[in-house]
Structure 1
Amino acid sequence: MPAPILSRRDIEFFLYEMFDVESLTTRERYQDHDRESFDAAIDIAQAIAEKYYVPIRLKVDSNQPTFDGKKVHIIPEIKEGLDAVIEAGLTAPTTDYAMGGMQLPQIAASGASAYIAAAASTSIGYLSLTHANSNLIEAYGTPEQINKWVTPQRQGRFFGTMAMTEPGAGSGLGDLTTSATKEEDGTYRVKGNKIWISGGDHDLSENIVHLVLARVKGAPKGVKGISLFIVPKYLVGDDGKIGDRNEVALAGLFHKMGGRGQTSTALSFGEQNGAEAYLVGEENKGLMYMFHMMNEARILVGTGAALTALTGFQYSLDYAKGRPQGRLLSAKDPLAPPVNIIEHPDVRRMLLTQKAYSEGAYALCLYGHQLSEDEKTAPTESERKHASTILDFLTPIIKSWPSEWGPKSNDLAIQVLGGHGYVNEHPVEMFYRDNRLNPIHEGTTGIQSLDLLCRKVPMNDFKGYQAFLAEIQLTAESVKLTESLQTYAVALQHAVDNLKEVTTSVMGASKTQNLDLVFSNSVSYLNMFGHLTIAWLWLRQAEIATKQLGKAPHSDDEKFYHGKIQAMKYFFNSELPLTYHWGNLVKNIDSASFDTHPDWL
C-alpha cells in the first residue's frame, strides 16, 4: 500500500477535539452543517487527492511548464485535477451558497482541503489564488465588478492572480513604477512589468483576472500613492462574453526548484496603448486593499508549508516501519534478523522531531483559520474584535514558523530514508524542494520578523501582543491543574516571562539607539515568539490527550494520545530552551552580523 498522504485521525483531532468545529454549527450561517457534512467534505477531498494528484506527483515535478514564445504548455493532468476540484465544489468551500460555495466555516474548509493541498503542492495554487482574488474584489469592489469578475471565478471559469512585484521593486513596493492613466470613460490604462506572478498565464481557464498594483500619474510617491486595478487577460463585455485580448503579455516563465505545477511568470502590461484596467475602490488605497489578499495568502502559505511537512512525515514514518536494516547496539547475535529502522533510537528522534514540527505548525495554521472565522462570524462584536486583534498580530508567525520549520521537517524525512531519500523515486526530496519556496513566498522571513517586532508588537499600545500572551497564560493556568503536566505549564510561563523581558528591553533600546542595530536580530525574536507559540499549542494538545487517556480509550486512540504527549515533551525539552538563546541575542543587541563590513564577506 502507498504511504498515507496525511493522518485522518490527526485531522479529526484538530477539528473536533482541539478546535471544536462542531460548535460553529450553532451560528446562523452554519446551521445546515454538522460533523457528517464536514466529514463528507474531507472524504471528497481525500478521494480527489488520491485519484488525481498522488499518481502525477513525479510527472508534475519532472515536466515544468514551458513557453514556446506564443503559448504556455502544461501537462494535461493538472487541468484534470483542477476540474475535479471545481466539479466537487471545493474551489471556494467557504463561499455563500448563492455564489456556488459550500458555506463551510473557514477552519472546516481548511481541514477539508488538507488532502488536496498536501498532494497537489502548488498545482492547487491556481484555485487558492483565485479564491483570495475573489474575496478581495467582494470586499472592496462594486456590485458590477463582483458580477463580472467574481462570479465566473467562483464558478471556476476564470482564474485569478495578484501582481505586485516588479523587476526593480521586489519587497519594496513603494518603489514600483507600473503606471495607470485614467480615461474619459472611467477606465484606466496600465503600463509596466511584473515578475514572479504565480499562475500569471496558462490555458487552464477561460480568462485570468489579474489584480495589479500601479501608480496613477500624479499620485504621491511611496506606498501612499499605490492604487489597485482589475486587469483581465481577455476583455469581457457587459453580457459576460469573452472579448478581445487585453494588452497583457507573457514575457517569460521562471523555473523554480520546486512547486513546478504552477506557472511563475514575468508579465508585460500595456506595451502599446496600455492594458485596459478597472480601479478597485479608491485611488491611492491599493496597498491597503491588497493586504486583504496578502494576509489571506500568508496564512495559506503557512498552511501549505505545514501540510507539506505533514505529508513528508507520514511518508518517512511509513517507510521506517517497513524498512529492515541493521541491528540494535544491544543485539549480541550477528545472525539475528535486521530490525526495521524505526527501532533505531536516532530514527525515532528524527520522526518525533518531524511530528513536533509538522503537527505543531498545522495546529498554528488551524488556529489562524479559527481566528479568521471568529473575526467574521463570532456571536458578539467584542469576540469578533478580539479575534481580529490576535489574528492581525499573529499573521507574521503563522506565515513564517511553518515556512521555516516545515522544510527542516522535510529535511529530516530525507534523512530517515537515507540513500532512498535523495532520489526522485521517493517524493521526500520533492517535498523539501516544494517547501523551500515558502520562506520566500508572500514576504521573506526577515520581512515578517521586522513586521512582528517593529510594527505588530507595539501596535495599538501593544494590544495584540498583550491579548495573545493572555491566551497563553489562560492555558498555562488551566494545565497546572493537571498534575502530570504542571512542570510543562510552569516552563511555558517562565518562557513567557523571558519573552516579556526581552520585549521590554528591545523596545526601550529602540528609543535611544540606532534602529538598524537594535532590530538587527529580529529573526531571532520571530524564532523565539514562534517557538513559544508552538509550545503553547503542544501543551493544549497534551492537555486534551491526558484527559482522554483518563477515559480509558480503545488501544488505537490510546497510542494516538500517548504520541501527542510525547511530542509535547520533546518540544518542551529540546526546542523551547532555544527561546532563551534567541532572546539573549535580541536583548543584548548582539552586533556580530550588524558590524560585519560588506568587504569582509
Structure 2
Amino acid sequence: MASNLVSARNIEFLLYEWLDVERLSSRERFAEHSRESYDALLELSAQLATDHFATHFRKSDEQEPTFDGTTVHLIPEIGDALKRFAEMDGFSLQADEEFGGMQLPATVGTAASTWFTAANIGTACYSFLTVANASLLVAHASDEIKQRYARPMFEGRFFGTMAMSEPHAGTSLGDVTSRAIPQADGTYRVFGSKMWISGGDHEIAENIVHLVLAKLPDAPEGTKGISLFVVPKFLVNEDGSLGERNDVVLSSINHKLGSRGTVNTAPVFGDGAFQPGGESGAIGFLVGEPHKGLKYMFHMMNAARLAVGTAATGTASAAYLKSLDYARSRPQGRALTTTDQATPQVEIIEHTDVRRMLLAQKSYVEGAMALALLCASLLDDERTAETEEARAEASKVLGVLTPIVKSWPSQWGQESTSLAIQVLGGAGYTRDYDVEQHWRDQRLNPIHEGTHGIQALDLLGRKILMDGGAGLMALAGRMEKTIAAARELGGEPSAYADQLKAQLDRIGEVTFGLVALGDPEKIMANASVYLEAAGHLVVAWIWLEQLVVAGTTEGDFYNGKRQAGRYFFATELPKITPMLDLVAAGDLTSYEMQDAWF
C-alpha cells in the first residue's frame, strides 16, 4: 500500500536509477554496505516513521510544550519515538565506526530522514540537531570532548542544540554579547542569554549539550572575535556518569505557529541559579582554537541547512500525498460537458484545475527531493571521491547549492502546502485535516537556520562573487553535460535542454554584469530575486536529469515523471526571465525606499 508520507518508488528511482548510490560501496568508508542494507534501512525508517512519529503528529501540535518555571513538559510520545529512533541507531547512521556509527552514505541517510520529517517534523527536529552537534564535535573538538559529549549523542542518550542567536542580535552574530571567562583549570565560565534555541531544555534525554557562541575577554570586534564552547546541562565525570547541574536555565519558552512539538527556548547561562564548583557561571569547554567559533559553527549550520531543506521537502511531500488521497476520494461536481444533473458526481481529481494544483505540487516535491539527495551525494563525494580533483569539484558545487537547498524547498514547499490546502477547499483550512498543520509547520523553514534573505546574501556575495565565480562555473559544467545528454536523447528532452541552456547563459551574463554596479549594497539589492532565479534554474536542471534517466521507459511512474517535468519547463522555468531582467537592470526600487515613506 502506498504511503501518504513519502513516495518510496520515487526514492528508489532517485537513489538507484539516477544517483547510482550502489557505486559508493566500492569506496572504503562504505564497503560494508550494499543495496540490501540500504533498502533495509529505508524500509525500517518508513515503518518507524509511520508507526511512532506520524501517530502523534496532531497531538504534539495540540498539546504543545509547556514550562512551569523549572521544567519543560512534552507529551510522552515524543520521547518514546526518539527512544525507538535511537534503538535503530538512527543518531549514528552516518557516524564513524569509532563512535559506534554505521558509516552510511549521506545520500541514503538523507533519504531515510525524509520519512521522519514527513511524519512529524516537530519530533524529528530533536534528532537532526543532535546529530549535527555531535558531527561538529567530531570534526573540531578535542578527543576528551568527543568521548564525553559526542559519543553519547550518537547513542541517543544526550541531545544537542546550537545556541547562537541572542535576543538583541538575532542572526547578526557579530553583535553577540555572551562572554566566556578563562579559568585556571582550563575551563571557562560562560555568561549570557540566547533566544530561539530549539530543544533547549526538556526531560527526554539524560543530558543536553549546548554549543554556545561567546566572546573571550581579548576577543577582536565582530565575527572574528567569536569562540565556540560546549556547555552541557549536566557536567560529565571522567567515567561518563552525570555530575553536577550546570548553571543553565530557561527564562521562558517561545510559542510557535507550527512545528510546535520542538520546544523553542530562551536559555540563560550563568545567572547563578546553579553554582557548579561553588561559583556562578556555566562551565564551558572551548572547541578548537579561540576566536574561530563561527568557522566551526558553519560545519553545523551547513548540515542544518541541508536538514531544513530535507524537512521542507518531507513536509511538502506529506501534504501533497494527503491532498492527492483526498482528491481521489472526494466526489464533487461533474464534467464541464455534462448537462444532466442526474449524472453522478465525479471525484475532484477529474477536474483539470485540481490536477493542475496536484501536478504543481508533484513538480515541487519531487524536484526538491532530488535537490536534497543531490546535495547529500555531493557531500559523500566531497568526503570520499577517489581523486582530490573530484573531491574539490564536489565541494565547489555543494557550496553553491547549500543556500539553494535550504531556501528553494522552503519557499516552494510553502507554496506546495498552500496548494494542498486549496485542493481540499473549505476542508483544507480546518483542523479536521492534516494539511493546515503541514502548512504551519512549513512556515518555519524559510526562517529556520538563516532567513531567505541571508541565504541570498550567502549565495551571491560569498559563494559566487567572492570566489570569482568558480563555484558557479563548476555547477554550469555539470549542467552542460546534462544538456548534451538530453540533446543526444532527442525529442522533448532536447527541447528542454535548449531552454535550460538559454537560461544558464543568461544567468552567467547577469552574474558577472553585477560587478559593474560597484557598490556592494547595490549589487546585493536584488540578491533574493537572484536566489529565486538560481533555485529555479537548478531545479529545472535536476528535472532534466530525471527525464534523461527516465528516457522512454513505459509505465505510470515514468509517465508521471515526464508530465511533472513538462509542467516545470512549461510553467516554472519561464519565471526566471523577469527575475533576471530585474537583476540585470540593477533595479534599486527597494534600495532607494526610505523609512519615512512607509
Could you say which TM-score interval applies, normalised by the shorter chain? over 0.9
Give the letter aligned to residue 293 of structure 2. Answer: G
SS in 2 for 1:332: coil
Correspondence 1:404 to 2:411? yes
Give the letter aligned to residue 389 of structure 1. Answer: K
Give the letter aligned to residue 496 of structure 1. Answer: L
Could you tell me how far apart the structure 2 residues matched to 1:37 and 1:548 are?
A: 27
Could you tell me how far apart the structure 2 residues matched to 1:274 and 1:397 are?
A: 40
Give the letter aligned to residue 454 of structure 1. Answer: G
Correspondence 1:538 to 2:543? yes
CA shift at 1:425, angstroms?
A: 1.4
Could you tell me how far apart the structure 2 residues matched to 1:393 and 1:434 are?
A: 27
CA shift at 1:515, angstroms?
A: 2.7
Partner of 2:556: 559
Q: Deviations over 1:220-274 (max 9, x none)?
A: 0100000000000011111111111100011110010000111100000001321
Could you tell me how far apart the structure 2 residues matched to 1:532 and 1:44 are?
A: 35
1:589 to 583, 586, 596: 586
SS in 2 for 1:521: helix
Q: TM-score, normalised by structure 2?
A: 0.97
CA separation of 1:166/1:135 partners in 2, compared to 1, >3 Å: closer, same or farther?
same
Q: Deviations over 1:48-107 (max 9, x none)?
A: 111112221110110110001111110001111001110111122111334222221110
1:376 to 383, 386, 402: 383
Query: Please, what is the CA RMSD of the aligned residues?
Result: 1.2
Partner of 1:324: 331
Q: Deviations over 1:18-58 (max 9, x none)?
A: 11111111112222211111110011111111111222111
CA shift at 1:316, angstroms?
A: 0.6
CA shift at 1:548, angstroms?
A: 2.8
Q: Deviations over 1:370-420 (max 9, x none)?
A: 000111111111111111111112111111111111010000000001111
Could you tell me how far apart the structure 2 residues matched to 1:266 and 1:165 are?
A: 10
Q: Deviations over 1:483-538 (max 9, x none)?
A: 212111000000111111211221222x2xx3323321111100110000000000
Mapping 1:74-85, distance limit 5 Å: 74-85=74-85
CA contact (8 A) 2:5 2:314 kept: no
SS in 2 for 1:497: helix
SS in 1 for 2:48: helix
CA shift at 1:325, angstroms?
A: 0.5
CA contact (8 A) 2:230 2:286 kept: yes
Could you tell me how far apart the structure 2 residues matched to 1:451 and 1:527 are?
A: 13
Partner of 2:351: 344
Correspondence 1:490 to 2:517? no
Moved segments of 4+, more than 4 Å: none
Give the letter aligned to residue 464 of structure 1. Answer: G
CA shift at 1:113, angstroms?
A: 2.3
CA contact (8 A) 2:91 2:153 kept: no
In structure 1, runs of 5+ residues without a counterpart are: 550-557
Could you tell me how far apart the structure 2 residues matched to 1:435 and 1:571 are?
A: 22
Mapping 1:104-119, distance limit 5 Å: 104-119=104-119
CA shift at 1:199, angstroms?
A: 0.3
Partner of 2:152: 152
Could you tell me how far apart the structure 2 residues matched to 1:113 and 1:548 are?
A: 29
SS in 1 for 2:253: strand
CA shift at 1:596, angstroms?
A: 2.0
Of all paired residues, the percent bearing the same amino acid is: 48
Partner of 1:518: 523
Partner of 2:511: 503
Could you tell me how far apart the structure 2 residues matched to 1:393 and 1:576 are?
A: 19
Give the letter aligned to residue 501 of structure 1. Answer: E
Q: Deviations over 1:283-321 (max 9, x none)?
A: 000000000000110110011101111111111111111
Mapping 1:196-215, distance limit 5 Å: 196-215=196-215
Could you tell me how far apart the structure 2 residues matched to 1:112 and 1:443 are?
A: 24
Could you tell me how far apart the structure 2 residues matched to 1:356 and 1:585 are?
A: 25
Mapping 1:379-528, distance limit 5 Å: 379-484=386-491, 485-509=493-517, 511=518, 514-528=519-533
CA contact (8 A) 2:114 2:313 kept: no
Could you tell me how far apart the structure 2 residues matched to 1:310 and 1:231 are?
A: 36
Could you tell me how far apart the structure 2 residues matched to 1:311 and 1:441 are?
A: 20
SS in 1 for 2:118: helix
Partner of 1:577: 574
Could you tell me how far apart the structure 1 residues matched to 2:313 and 2:135 are?
A: 23
Could you tell me how far apart the structure 1 residues matched to 2:343 and 2:485 are?
A: 49
Q: Deviations over 1:531-580 (max 9, x none)?
A: 0000000011111112433xxxxxxxx11101111111111111111111
Could you tell me how far apart the structure 2 residues matched to 1:21 and 1:548 are?
A: 21
Could you tell me how far apart the structure 1 residues matched to 2:490 and 2:380 are?
A: 34
Q: How many residues align?
A: 590
SS in 1 for 2:313: helix
CA contact (8 A) 2:497 2:544 kept: yes
CA contact (8 A) 1:90 1:113 kept: no
Give the letter aligned to residue 519 of structure 1. Answer: M
CA contact (8 A) 2:258 2:444 kept: yes
Give the letter aligned to residue 73 of structure 2. Answer: H
In structure 2, runs of 5+ residues without a counterpart are: 273-279
Mapping 1:186-197, distance limit 5 Å: 186-197=186-197
SS in 1 for 2:591: coil
Could you tell me how far apart the structure 1 residues matched to 2:113 and 2:221 are?
A: 41
Could you tell me how far apart the structure 1 residues matched to 2:20 and 2:516 are?
A: 40
Partner of 2:123: 123
Q: Deviations over 1:100-144 (max 9, x none)?
A: 222211101111222122102121111111111011110111111
